[in-house]
Amino acid sequence: MQITFYGVRGSIPTPGKEFVRYGGNTACVHVALNDGTDIILDAGTGIRLLGKKLLSKTTPVHVLLSHNHWDHIQGFPFFAPIFQPDREIFITPGIVHDGNTHAVLEQMNGSLFPVPASALASIIQITAKPVQTCQWACGDAVIKRMPINHPGGGVAYAIQTSNAKVVYLTDNELYPPYKKSSDFLTFVEFCRDADLLIHDAQYMLSDMPAKSGWGHSVAEEAVKLAMASNSKQLALYSHDPERTDNDVDAIIEHCKIFIEAAGSPLSIFASAEEQSLSLPNH
Ligand SMILES: [Zn+2]
């Protein structure tokens, strides 16, 4: 499978000269399976560029949403395939506390966005899976999901083929002050032996306790999860809008020091827009 990052920023888009290397678009990752299936994780502003690239195809698109916070759905009205006649777009909403499965289309209501969802030329199907923990087949992959710790709720996804596994676990607070949906060891099992773990790392230990309860993890805890689950690579994700490129570089250097000190073979990088990698990574 081929993984390409299109949006790696948390909370709000961050244009500007200090955010060029990692990028300022909000959450969106493309997973291209070897059988040609296109899976999209979240529909933040990064999905706009991905949509332009997918216009050359006519095959169905599978969009998996973690939750409805705006930075995860706000790019959808600008996703060009939704205007392609008869293009099939299958959306799996995240399970959220208010039960809203259609927020991604409700933002296209004529008031928040001029083109109403009812006027789109594509064929959009939103299929809510009944429970947070379930699995289903998609192309030559099996998709699993589990609840995350986040205000308002949400889910993580694991996509596994015969030879590769990627886990998308963002907007997740590993150690929240509120009641957990999932505990650390459950996350460890979910991520077990991943070729790539994409995990929220919006904060640093130094941001705490001020940001405790905001629904994001600190980078050091994401590293701990990656090592405990024997993940091969960790992509730090959902960069804080206040972190410049140089700040993100510093976080990576900080994390590398204690990965090395732990004697772990884990490879770590900070996800960046249009960065692409194939799995498994031999
Ligand atoms: Zn969120």
| 39-83 pLDDT, tens digit each | 999 999 999 999 999 999 999 999 999 999 999 999 999 999 999
For residue 201, the CA-to-ligand 1 centroid distance in Å is 13
The vertex-47 CA angle with 46 and 49, nearest 5°, equals: 80
For residue 215, the CA-to-ligand 1 centroid distance in Å is 7
d(CA 82, CA 124): 8
| CA distances from residue 36 to 61, 66, 138, 255 in whole angstroms, order as listed | 10, 23, 11, 35
d(CA 223, CA 201): 9
Structure tokens at 27: 């959450």
Check whether domain 2-278 has CATH 1.10.238.10, yes or no: no
Please identify every stretch of the chain with a pLDDT value under 50, giving residue numbers as ranges. none
For residue 118, the CA-to-ligand 1 centroid distance in Å is 26
Q: What is the pLDDT of residue 132?
A: 79
Cα-only R_g, the chain: 18
For residue 221, the CA-to-ligand 1 centroid distance in Å is 18
Q: What is the pLDDT of residue 124?
A: 98
Q: What is the pLDDT of residue 261?
A: 95
For residue 124, the CA-to-ligand 1 centroid distance in Å is 23
Handedness of CA 137, 87, 123, 64 (dihedral sign): positive
d(CA 142, CA 182): 21
- Hey, is 214 helix, strand or coil? coil
For residue 68, the CA-to-ligand 1 centroid distance in Å is 7
Q: What is the largest CA-CA distance in the chain?
A: 56
For residue 214, the CA-to-ligand 1 centroid distance in Å is 9
Q: What is the pLDDT of residue 41?
A: 98
Domain definitions of the chain by residue range: 2-278
> Which residue is associated with the tokens 């200090």?
18
Cβ contacts of 8 within 8 Å, gap of 6 or more: 22, 23, 25, 27, 46, 237, 238, 239, 270, 271, 272, 273
For residue 12, the CA-to-ligand 1 centroid distance in Å is 11
For residue 85, the CA-to-ligand 1 centroid distance in Å is 32
For residue 266, the CA-to-ligand 1 centroid distance in Å is 27
For residue 56, the CA-to-ligand 1 centroid distance in Å is 31
The type of residue at 13 is P
